[in-house]
Amino acid sequence: MQEVIQQLQANMELSLEETNLIPDPVQHYDRCIKLVSKAIEELKGLVRSYIFQNVDEEIHYFKSVCPVFYSKHFYFIKVYDIELLKCSAGRKNLRWKYDHDLREIELFFAQHRDLSKYYYGSLTYLDEQLFTRRNGHQGVIEDLSPVIDANFTLASYKISWIIANQKYRCYLEKELKRLDAPLGDTIDSSTVDRDKVTLGTTKSYLAEEIVALQLAELIYVNGQPASLAWLTEKAEQVLHTDLKDFKSLDYANRSRKKDLTPLLTSMIKKFIDRANRLNK
C-alpha cells in the first residue's frame, strides 16, 4: 500500500512540475488544483476500504501522508483566488487583501499554536489520539475542502492547513514586496547586454540542462527556487532560442534508451579531465 501511495504522490509531483510551463498564472494554478484534486480522489479510493496493518501505519498515513496532498489543495486554491483578483484589482485593493490574509494566517497560528508545536516539534505522545480513524471528522469540514473521506481526522485536516498557511504566508509576503518595489527597480536587459549570444548545442541538450538546474535549485528568484517556466523563459531571451516545444523535448529526453543525460555525462567527463590535467 505504501509503495502505491508513494507512486501516486510521485506522479502528482511530476504533473505539478510540468504545469510550470504554463505562462498564465490563473491557468497554471487552475491546472494545479485539478491535478491535486484528481490525486486526492485516487488516494481516497485506495484507502476507503483499506485495513491498516497496525496503529503505526495508520498514524503515519493520517499524520504524514494525507497532509502532503490536502495542504497542496488548500494552498493552490488560495493562490488561485489571488491570481484571479490580480486580473482586475488595483494596488490598493491588492494590498488590503494581502494584509487581510496575513492577519488571518497569524490568527490561525495563534489558535493552533499547540498543534503547530506538536507537529513541527516531531512529538508523538498524542499520535494515537489525533491520527487514527476513531477520531474521524464525520463529514466535510468546510466548503473550501474537497469531498473528504468521513474517516479523515480533524488533526490531519488542521495539519494540512498549517502546512498550506506556512507556504501561503511566504507567497503573500513575496507579493507585498513586489507591490512595494519601485518601478525603477526593473532593468531593461536590452540596454545592459549588447553581446550577441546564441545557442551552441542542440535544444534537447539545453532542455536537459534547464531541468538539471531546476532540480538542483541552483538559482533562486525572489527567495524561491527558479521554476522550469522561469528558466525556460530566460534561456529563450538570452540565447534567442524558441523553446515553445520544451515539453516535447523534455519528454524525448526522459525516453532516451541508452544515456539519459548525455550532456551532463559529457560535462562531468570534461570537468574531471580538466582537473586531472591541471593537477598534474
Q: What are the residue boundaries of the structural domains of the chain, listed by start?
A: 2-182, 193-278
Q: What cell was used for 237?
A: 531571451
In the beta sheet, which residues pair with residue 136?
A: 153
Task: For residue 144, give the nearest of 70, 50, 54 by alpha carbon.
Answer: 70
Amino acid making up residue 248: S
State the SS3 of the chain: CHHHHHHHHHHHHHHHHHHHHCCCHHHHHHHHHHHHHHHHHHHHHHHCCCCCCCHHHHHHHHHHHHHHHHHHHHHHHHHHHHHHHHCCCCHHHHHHHHHHHHHHHHHHHHHCHHHHHHHHCCCCCCHHHHCCHHHECCCCCCCCCCCCCCCCEHHHHHHHHHHHHHHHHHHHHHHHHHHHCCHHHCCCHHHHCCCCCCCCCCHHHHHHHHHHHHHHCCCEECCEECCHHHHHHHHHHHHCCCCCCHHHHHHHHHCCCCCCCHHHHHHHHHHHHHHHHHCC
Report whether pLDDT(133) > 80: no
Report whether pLDDT(192) > 50: no
Residue 244 pLDDT = 82
Report whether pLDDT(97) > 90: yes
Residue 190 pLDDT = 43
Instruction: Read off the pLDDT band of 178 (50, 70, 90).
Output: confident
State the sign of the Cα–Cα–Cα–Cα dihedral 166, 172, 176, 177.
positive
Report whether pLDDT(219) > 50: yes
As a whole number, mean pLDDT of residues 223-243 equals: 86
Report whether pLDDT(6) > 90: no
The percent of residues in the chain predicted with pLDDT above 90, rounded, is 31
CA distance 207 to 166: 32
Report whether pLDDT(30) > 50: yes
Q: What cell was used for 259?
A: 544515456
Task: For residue 72, give the nearest of 119, 115, 37 by alpha carbon.
Answer: 37
Q: Classify residue 43 by burial, with Cβ atoms within 10 Å: 0-12, 13-18, 19+.
A: buried
Decide if 40 contacts 73 (C-beta within 8 A): yes
Residue 182 pLDDT = 61
Decide if 50 contacts 20 (C-beta within 8 A): no
Residue 140 pLDDT = 40
Q: What are the distances in angstroms from CA 238 to CA 36, 42, 152, 242?
A: 34, 42, 49, 11
Residue 62: count of CB within 10 angstroms of its CB? 25
Residue 141 pLDDT = 46
As a whole number, mean pLDDT of residues 100-118 equals: 94
The percent of residues in the chain predicted with pLDDT above 70, rounded, is 88
**Selected residue with higher pLDDT from 155 and 222:** 155
Residue 95 pLDDT = 93
pLDDT digits (tens, 9 = 90+) for 153-164: 888 889 999 999
Q: What cell was used for 41?
A: 480522489
Of 25-39, 95-109, 193-207, which range is least confident? 193-207
**Selected residue with higher pLDDT from 86 and 144:** 86
